[in-house]
Amino acid sequence: MPVYQVPVRDMQFLMHDVLKLQNHSSLPGFGDATPDVIDAILNEAARFHEEVIAPLNRVGDLEGCTRHEDGSVTTPTGFKEAYQQFCENGLGALAHDPDYGGQGLPAILALAIGEMTSSANQSFGMYPGLSAGAWRAIHAAASEEQKQIYLPKMSDGSWTGTMNLTEPQCGTDLGLIRSKAVPQADGSYKISGQKIWISSGEHDLAENIIHLVLARIEGAPEGIKGISLFIVPKFLVNEDGSLGARNGVSCGGLEEKMGIHGNATCVLNYDEATGFLVGEENKGMRAMFIMMNEARLGVGMQGYAAAEAAYQNALAFAKDRLQSRAISGAKFPDLPADPIIVHPDVRRMLMDSKAFIEGARALTYWASLQEDLSHKAPDEETRQKADDYMGLLTPVIKAYQTDKGSKACNDAMQVLGGSGFCEEWGLSQYVRDVRISMIYEGTNGIQALDLVGRKLMRNGGRAVQSWFAELDQWIKDHEGVDGLGDYAKGLAGVKAKLMEATQWLGANAMANPDNAGAVSHDYLHLFGLTAHAWMWGMMAKEALAHKGDGDPFYDAKLKTGRYFLDRILPEADSHLAKVKAGSEAMMALEADAF
Ligand SMILES: Cc1cc2nc3c(=O)[nH]c(=O)nc-3n(C[C@H](O)[C@H](O)[C@H](O)COP(=O)(O)OP(=O)(O)OC[C@H]3O[C@@H](n4cnc5c(N)ncnc54)[C@H](O)[C@@H]3O)c2cc1C
């Protein structure tokens, strides 16, 4: 049985020491999140995830979901009871607005719970995960009346939510959406069409499912400018809030997938289903982007969360498995061979993963704090800066951290050798489950294009310039500090390369747009490395401050930080070289000649 222990200590370190949430206590909801309250929530949630959610991971993989003849879907054994407990523990609405049934706590707490759920059982986590995204889109874009009808029930978990973008002919290019909406005399719409690959689209966990659906109102403009967003509940809701008639949406099939078997990935058929417009006609993408941005942060979290679980299992195996002697001489001469953790190549894989996971957790938590600042900070300047940072770094977090998270799961499998390839050990499931994170919520290739094509130049490059200035300030403040000079130097080096790559893009992308497309993946990875280097600087600073405590946690943090500087940061050179190579060699071969 695979193991998973919630890394509560690392979460506390980030919240209390690195991000210092207590310094933000004047923000709404932050005053209630005292260190004691945070610790109590983390510890209680950790126990629940280790004891209840994690043991269902393999059950979900083996059983999958079942669709019945009437179109209903049952989730794997134990999911329903676990979901009920999850809701009773209030874990789905920690950061939701208290006006609509939430607890109003900092978003970072909800993120930490999401991480636990995702590490313990990615398929299970996608039910409350999608719901939280739908909740936010309704909260941000729907009318007050709609919010009152749907949000409290979604907060307490008795209703869940989904997002319905994809259709058979339309994945990345949402301008191709065909689902149509016909206005009715009472102000509602009749929605018809087929959506595919809808996560958590039909299931037995909740009384009702609130589908957010993109469709085209009859006569709307072609392409992306003619798309509107609708709420389509599985059961219509009566005026008194009780459930009414079954709506015209049904599950036409479940996908057979490589992983996340415990999550119901549905074909949803809309047959003149009653839908309610959210926001303005033809402005559906704006509202959906709210959901997608925060969902993308959640997917970036899935990348390192899966890596954490896989890494923990690889580590346990590496300490236990005896093979060969250390090349520098036997380390455990009384045993028939040394445990494989003595071998540098095994350590390479473990340390690569450890350094990635800890940097990724820090960056994602930092971004989550920006999310709160962007909504809750009292002054416009802070709100705008935080919003800029979120926009800039969301594609980086999504793509960099799922690319690397997937690699870390593969490395964890490699640490187990043949056992990693055999299902019994559970590593195969992590590799299979995490793989989707590179694809959904916009493929990683599209995230890279979003970064170079939209986010960099938005508002005249305001976000990236402000972020670069922030890094410069950190370098200036810490280059002379004992123990932090190497971090400042490392950050300065990678940031200089990122700036060079940015200038190269500025000079070469307009004249030949293929240059932007060809280098975007490496540019995004260079961006991710730079952001992680900054995080490692911040973490090292706090670890150094505690160096005298004799606590092995801080010693390990500094040794992992050193590994990041020496063994991961040099990847920046390769990314810069590939950026500067441009598109010529990539586009030279004619399609017919492949
Ligand atoms: C398990 C699962 C769950 C999902 N859950 C949901 C859900 O809940 N709701 C929902 O609406 N959708 C969902 N999806 C759909 C998912 O978001 C899409 O699969 C994804 O957006 C990519 O679309 P596509 O598969 O059609 O690929 P395509 O758009 O056909 O792309 C194929 C390849 O071409 C690349 N490509 C396409 N256009 C460009 C371009 N302009 N430049 C460069 N490269 C390009 C892509 O990066 C990709 O590598 C899910 C999919 C799966 C498999």
In the chain, domain spans: 55-89+121-282, 455-587
Of 160, 170, 179, 197, the residue with max ligand 1 atoms within 8 A of its CB, to mutate for a pocket test, comes to: 197
Is the C-beta atom of 384 inside 6 A of ligand 1? no
Q: How far is the CA of 191 from the centre of ligand 1 (A)?
A: 23
Of all protein residues, the one whose alpha carbon is nearest to atom 24 of ligand 1 is 171
Is the C-beta atom of 197 inside 6 A of ligand 1? yes
Of all protein residues, the one whose alpha carbon is nearest to atom 37 of ligand 1 is 172
Walk along the chain (594 residues) and give the pLDDT tens digit of each residue: 789 999 999 999 999 999 999 999 999 999 999 999 999 999 999 999 999 999 999 999 999 999 999 999 999 999 999 999 999 999 999 999 999 999 999 999 999 999 999 999 999 999 999 999 999 999 999 999 999 999 999 999 999 999 999 999 999 999 999 999 999 999 999 999 999 999 999 999 999 999 999 999 999 999 999 999 999 999 999 999 999 999 999 999 999 999 999 999 999 999 999 999 999 999 999 888 877 777 899 999 999 999 999 999 999 999 999 999 999 999 999 999 999 999 999 999 999 999 999 999 999 999 999 999 999 999 999 999 999 999 999 999 999 999 999 999 999 999 999 999 999 999 999 999 999 999 999 999 999 999 999 999 999 999 999 999 999 999 999 999 999 999 999 999 999 999 999 999 999 998 899 999 999 999 999 999 999 999 999 999 999 999 888 899 999 999 999 999 999 999 999 999 999 999 999 999 999 999
Q: How far is the CA of 391 from the centre of ligand 1 (A)?
A: 20
- What is d(CA 88, CA 293) in angstroms, rounded to the nearest whole number? 28
CATH code of 55-89+121-282, in short, is 2.40.110.20
Nearest atom in ligand 1 to 171's CA = 26
* Per-residue model confidence (pLDDT) at position 294: 79
Nearest atom in ligand 1 to 173's CA = 29
Is the C-beta atom of 160 inside 6 A of ligand 1? no
Q: How far is the CA of 92 from the centre of ligand 1 (A)?
A: 27
* Per-residue model confidence (pLDDT) at position 412: 98
Is the C-beta atom of 117 inside 6 A of ligand 1? no
Is the C-beta atom of 520 inside 6 A of ligand 1? no
* Per-residue model confidence (pLDDT) at position 64: 98
* Per-residue model confidence (pLDDT) at position 179: 98
| 207 Cβ contact partners less than 8 Å away, ≥ 6 residues apart | 153, 158, 159, 235, 243
* Per-residue model confidence (pLDDT) at position 288: 82
* Per-residue model confidence (pLDDT) at position 411: 98
Is the C-beta atom of 445 inside 6 A of ligand 1? yes
- What is d(CA 395, CA 242) in angstroms, rounded to the nearest whole number? 40
Contact status, residue 422 vs residue 366, Cβ threshold 8 Å: no
As beta bridge partners, residue 66 has 74
Contact status, residue 93 vs residue 103, Cβ threshold 8 Å: yes
What are 85's two structure tokens?
Answer: 């407990």
**Residue 441 bears catalytic tag:** yes
Is the C-beta atom of 434 inside 6 A of ligand 1? no
- What is d(CA 509, CA 516) in angstroms, rounded to the nearest whole number? 5
Is the C-beta atom of 171 inside 6 A of ligand 1? yes
Is the C-beta atom of 172 inside 6 A of ligand 1? yes
Is the C-beta atom of 483 inside 6 A of ligand 1? no
Of all protein residues, the one whose alpha carbon is nearest to atom 6 of ligand 1 is 198
Among residues 188, 166, 154, the alpha carbon closest in space to that of 273 is found at: 188
The DSSP output letter for 436 is: G
Is the C-beta atom of 453 inside 6 A of ligand 1? no
Contact status, residue 198 vs residue 162, Cβ threshold 8 Å: yes
Q: Write the CA distances from 433 to 48, 261, 380, 386, 429, integer angstroms.
A: 22, 8, 41, 32, 6
Q: Which of 202, 441, 500, 584 is catalytic?
A: 441
Q: How far is the CA of 127 from the centre of ligand 1 (A)?
A: 20
Contact status, residue 86 vs residue 102, Cβ threshold 8 Å: no
* Per-residue model confidence (pLDDT) at position 267: 98
Q: How far is the CA of 75 from the centre of ligand 1 (A)?
A: 24
Of all protein residues, the one whose alpha carbon is nearest to atom 30 of ligand 1 is 171
Of all protein residues, the one whose alpha carbon is nearest to atom 19 of ligand 1 is 440
Of all protein residues, the one whose alpha carbon is nearest to atom 32 of ligand 1 is 172
